[in-house]
Chain A
């Protein structure tokens, strides 16, 4: 097991939301005491409903915002204490990919200038070397060196997200954090970008932190997954284990809500009722107790700690030890043999379309 590259210790961040017409301003505890470590080379995923604090956590980890309390430790050093050269190193070694490929790229810069910008900022290489590096990065993400002279608006969503990835990789980072990097993309384009991310991760030995609300994408890319609810981590563990046998009722509810694209998987009734509570006044005790099917008295008053279970699993539920919850069933998703053969045929035919052809076509369609 590798050493942790990044650690969160009692991490908290609150925001003061708009002052109401009367009364005191309300405070949202967006991240409320989070502890975990990320191992060098792994893909670590953060999931949870809108507003649960995923983006805030990602921003804290990458030092884009300051923690209200607690600390982030990168490579043995606390990031809030970094200054000068050390802070620049951190900025170079930890990069961010944003969700929206449309608004995250400056429309007035060429693609070459956009990808080369981090190199210029960090004073890496001569101008000629930077151009060569940009060309190499473009190829790596499945675009072409000639694309360096074009502007972002000339590219499709998936291509723009590739530009964002190339830019994140320019400085040779050790950690890349993607905040919903494929959420804005259509399925067919999303798959292209997911493949590129995985290839690059293998090639460069990156540590990848991915936020996504699509649990199938997470199941596909992640080694480990942290499930958040209202600013807290409620479950953390190996992705395969968590999906197959969740240990927190919220994880079970989340998994049960995913519509599965296969016949025979149709659900009778959803396992989760109600809306997520207002984060300004979160429920007492276990924050999930208002929606939990297994709620007991103790849950309303006592906050469950994130406790260690078997196989590196951590769960914040009073009853984690004696519940057996339902994960994703996989036995009902097998394809009939004839159809499996048809998919294999598609896949083989797809593979015989050469990479060259692919970029030539991309070129043509712009």
Chain B
């Protein structure tokens, strides 16, 4: 691990609906160094977006409350800082890209003006300088004929182009941290590949750290230095991209990888994870994966901690490494 302080250090982040019995996001911790890309991966509803929104201070106006934890970013705790501080950071030091660019682009404003506005909001520069920066950024995200695009409206662009504009706007103020929530999920695979190329290259050029949220393990393998696998509001496994793909430990990670059809060949039946994700109202008290886990036993009725299996590789499972675990004999009886 690096000796210097990480760029972002999240510890024990919990989020819950005001008054709810159990948190939706529970005790999430991770850290990120400058220039690193962390992928948060997990299935729908596991808390990926809430985690990102909490870091951006965007839970305001929802019934959701931060229930504990700290997120230290350049001397500021993002979880307790006043809104004014967060507003100054957002779009400047920290930028965000969402899945559907149409929801974050203003449909009534030319794209050049939108990017210029984002610059002028945080920098003491003239409109002309803002516009020049907009042009520079559009070129940087490789939008063809950038000059003429400056005066177009979002609806005139394809989905892939809009996502490029979003990236241009997000990077216009040279943020230290870019949070991208499923930036390519709505796009075709050919366009996705282009956007991923772009994000990887820009990450390298600008040195911005990235948190990339996705449910696609393929995207993780393409992009991540580090990976956090979430299940039902908790991180169940975290490590370097190599640790996660070449040495997956948690039964959920194994199940997820087994569920994916392989491009390499027509295997027999897919090995599935039985059942469905628990509802937030009916979350198991112990390991949240236990009802679907083939290794669960009485020990799993207590919540497992995320512990270091080896340097940087953390797993929350009572039975990791599962080489030593027995499949649950109790399955038949509990049925």
Contact = CB atoms under 8 A, between A and B. Distances in A.
A26 interface: no
A220 B218 contact: no
B327 A186 contact: no
B190 A190 contact: no
B272 A195 contact: yes
Contacts of A266: 221-222
Contacts of A353: 274, 294, 328, 331
A213 interface: yes
A215 interface: yes
A256 interface: yes
A187 interface: yes
Given A259-B219, A262-B245, A362-B276, A187 B263 contact: no
Contact of A342 (B193, B269, B279, B323): B323
Interface string A279-310: 00000000000000000000000000000000
Contact of A365 (B221, B271, B273, B291): B291
Given A273-B194, A357-B334, A216 B44 contact: no
B292 interface: yes
B146 interface: no
Contacts of B251: 346
Nearest to A267: B222
A362 B265 CA distance: 30
Given A191-B260, A352-B331, A263 B255 contact: no
Contacts of A109: none
Interface string B279-301: 10010000000011011000000
B261 interface: yes
A240 B266 contact: yes
Given A194-B261, A275-B160, A342-B322, A220 B266 contact: yes
B308 interface: no
Contact of A263 (B241, B256, B263, B279): B241
A272 B194 contact: yes
Given A213-B188, A257-B192, A220 B270 contact: yes
Contacts of A187: 43, 215, 217, 256, 259-260
A350 B274 contact: yes
B294 A213 contact: no
A128 to B, nearest CB: 31
B237 to A, nearest CB: 13
A346 B282 contact: no
Interface string A249-286: 00001101111111101110110111110000000000
A347 B271 contact: yes
B189 A261 contact: no
Contact of A361 (B191, B254, B274, B321): B274
A251 B251 CA distance: 35
Contact of B218 (A156, A189, A258, A341): A258
Contact of A336 (B246, B257, B259): B246
A343 to B, nearest CB: 6
A24 interface: no
Interface string B23-49: 000000000000000000001100000
A154 to B, nearest CB: 12
Nearest to A222: B266
Contact of A346 (B193, B242, B254, B331): B254
A262 B334 CA distance: 36
A356 B335 CA distance: 7
A49 interface: yes
Interface string B236-247: 000001100111
A254 B190 contact: yes
Contact of A270 (B194, B247, B294): B194
Given A273-B194, A357-B335, A342 B245 contact: no
B189 A191 contact: no
A350 B242 contact: no
Contacts of B266: 219-220, 239-240
B218 A342 contact: no
Contacts of A341: 323
A194 B270 contact: yes
A348 B216 CA distance: 25
A342 B254 contact: yes
Contact of A220 (B190, B267, B278): B267
Given A188-B43, A219-B266, A342-B254, A272 B328 contact: no
B263 A260 contact: yes
A261 B221 contact: yes
B270 to A, nearest CB: 4
Given A195-B270, A240-B266, A348 B327 contact: yes
B221 A265 contact: yes
B158 to A, nearest CB: 5
Interface string B49-90: 000000000000000000000000000000000000000000
Given A215-B189, A345-B322, A192 B272 contact: yes
A217 interface: yes
23 contacts: A50-B188, A188-B272, A192-B272, A194-B270, A213-B189, A219-B265, A254-B190, A259-B196, A260-B222, A261-B257, A266-B221, A272-B193, A276-B190, A328-B264, A335-B246, A342-B321, A343-B254, A343-B258, A347-B271, A353-B331, A354-B332, A358-B275, A365-B278
Interface of A: 49-50, 156, 158-159, 186-192, 194-195, 198, 213, 215-217, 219-221, 239-240, 243, 253-254, 256-263, 265-267, 269-270, 272-276, 328, 330, 333, 335-336, 339, 341-343, 345-350, 352-354, 356-358, 360-362, 364-365
Interface of B: 43-44, 144, 158, 160-161, 188-194, 196-197, 215-222, 241-242, 245-248, 251, 254-267, 269-279, 282, 291-292, 294-295, 321-323, 327-328, 331-332, 334-335
Given A187-B256, A270-B193, A361-B291, 5 more contacts: A186-B43, A272-B194, A343-B254, A345-B323, A357-B334
Q: Considering the complex of A and B, which 3 residue pairs feature the smallest CB-CB distances, nearest first?
A: A259-B218, A220-B261, A349-B327
